[in-house]
Structure formats: C-alpha cells, structure tokens
A = this chain, B = another copy of it.
C-alpha cells in the first residue's frame, strides 16, 4: 500500500527530491533476468533533466546503483534494491517555501496529512523526481517483457491545443525518440516544440497528452472484477505526478457511438481469435484479448511558474510565492518514459499473476 505497486512484481519507492537519493525495492522479480546496465541507464537518460532546451535545465546525472538481488548480472529472485543518489544535497536555501503553500502543489495537503512534518525542499516526497525510481524499475520490467515479445511505447500526442490527429497505427513508433518532444510525427513535433519554447519564454507552463501503446500482450491478462487490466493501468497512470485523466480504446469519444458501430467483430485467423476493429483497446471484460492496447494520459500544466502568485502560509497569513529555480515548461516529453515504465510494470505483474490461474 501507499508507496508500493504491484501484487507479484511489486515495487516500493522511497526518497525525496532533495534528500540523499531516490530508490526502489523490487520484490518478486523472477530469477534469471539478465540486467542490461546500459539499457537501464538509457531509460533514465530519457527522463532526466537537462536533456534538451525545452525541459528543466537542472543537472542530475541519475547514475544508479544496484545494492541487492542481482548476482553475476542475473536477477536471483530476491529483492532488488536500486538507488539513484541525489548529486547535490548541499543545503540550498529553501526557507522561502518552508512555510508557504505553493498554488496547485502538494505543500498544503502534505502538511495537513502528515501533521506538519514535511521535507519542504523542492516538494520533498511529492516531487516528480520520485518517478526516477519508477523508470528504473520499469526498465527491469521491460527487460523481462522483451523475452515475452511485449513492447511498451509511449509518445506525446498533444501539447496545449496542438493535437496529433493520427492514430498510433499511422505512426512509426521507432521515431519517438528522434526529436526532443517525443512525438513521432516530425511536423507536429516541430509545432509542439515551438509552442513549448514560447510558453517557456512566457515564464509559463502548459499541459499535454501522452499516448501509450502496448503490443504483443498475451490473451488473458487482467484480474476481474476489481483488478481489471485497464483499471490497474488507469491507476498506475493516475499515480504519476500531474495526471488528470485516463482513457483507453475508444475512451471518452466512444460514448457518442452506438453499440452497432462500436462493437468489435471477431474473426479467426491462423487459429487465433482476432477482432476486425479495436474500439476495445485490446481489453474486454478487463482482460487482454491479444489486440494492441492503447490509451491516453492527460497531464495538467506544471504548477510551478515563474511569475509571482498569491498564497497563504502555515499560519494562514497571505503571502506571495515567487517562482524560482529551473522547471519544465511542459512535462510530457519527460513523461514518456514514465508512462512506458508504469505500463511495463503493470503488464509484467499481470503476466505473473496469470500463471497462478492454472493448477498444472
């Protein structure tokens, strides 16, 4: 609960933005997975600050250290502990926000929930820096899924009002990392880039949408009636900082359709059951049906802006919160690997859970 996710492949993250480091313990990873250190480091690099002009210019190398659960480069089935030490823990001056509640941040709610005990530096535990641990765990999940032929993709499909109207099927998902925005349509990527750059110059921020696509998922994953595959995917995505919505398959647009046009007709091909359309988004009754899974995740505009804002402090006094530091004008380019990571964790967990549905 709380800081753990998963039933079998179970991750527990820990750490604060400006503490000694961020980390994750993975309990339940099957033995024998080869740890590809370069792959994990590369996944972290896709998320790290400072990778392009349109993301925050903070500097973190995000080197990771595996403390346990791996022997001679193979997982052993015992808990994997992985830490990313924060490089710069010098006591910067955060006193200006120690008692102030930044608008639309979690300062106030953490303060109230935890009885006033709170590491306020950079948002502490509520900072999106926590997701670095998820990306590391997700990289290990991806390494396992590779053996099963499962691929987890994500890309930016909307920034502000700029919406990519093409379906994922019309895109080359191998081009996701070919530009800084992580939108595989180069024209749209350029427009998005320009918009984010303008927002940045305005000292403001803007929201966006990340689309996830998972291919190669075996039939049968998902555990109704509560742990439906899309319900857990939804929870996993909604647990990412700044996420405000989740939809899969036909999603919100599907409500306007009639059943006769929305239903996916089955047919058989090479001994497999397939569907002619895929409004279901690869999930029926909460269980994967073998078709591609696809979904959208909505991210709000980042709450930290560079302009002054009114607020209150812990004593109820009216105060001014001034934007400081180096923050993302738009979170979605760096959110892409996070969405992929959580996708991989969800699918691997359900894959392992499904193994318990056969006695012999």
Contact = CB atoms under 8 A, between A and B. Distances in A.
A153 interface: no
Given A108-B289, A205-B259, A268-B318, 11 more contacts: A14-B68, A14-B81, A109-B222, A130-B225, A147-B360, A206-B257, A207-B254, A228-B238, A257-B300, A263-B303, A266-B310
A64 B14 CA distance: 17
Nearest to A230: B238
B354 A113 contact: yes
Q: 4 closest A-B pairs (Cβ-Cβ)?
A: A106-B285, A245-B247, A207-B255, A205-B259
A109 B28 contact: no
B115 A31 contact: yes
A235 interface: yes
Interface in A121-165: 124-126, 130, 144, 147-148, 158, 160-161
A184 interface: no
Interface string A102-127: 01111011101111111100001110
A221 B109 CA distance: 9
Given A27-B3, A76-B118, A239 B225 contact: yes
A27 to B, nearest CB: 5
The residue among A12, A104, A309 with the most chain B CB atoms within 10 A of its own CB is: A104
A260 B79 contact: no
Interface stretch (A17-25, A39-47, A48-56, A173-181): A17-25
Contacts of A318: 267-268
A239 B239 CA distance: 16
A15 interface: yes
Contact of A209 (B115, B255, B310): B255
A77 B144 contact: no
Contacts of A273: 101, 108, 112, 312, 316
Interface string A214-252: 000001111111111011101110110000111111111
Interface string A52-65: 00000000000001
A220 B77 CA distance: 12
Interface in A260-316: 260, 262-268, 271, 273, 275, 279-281, 283-289, 296, 298-305, 307, 309-312, 316
16 contacts: A4-B12, A19-B68, A76-B119, A77-B117, A78-B114, A109-B289, A113-B354, A126-B224, A205-B260, A208-B255, A228-B239, A238-B246, A245-B247, A254-B300, A254-B301, A268-B312
A97 interface: no
Given A14-B25, A207-B257, A238-B234, A251 B244 contact: yes
Given A252-B244, A259-B206, A266-B312, A124 B71 contact: yes
A237 to B, nearest CB: 8
A225 B104 contact: no
B23 A67 contact: yes
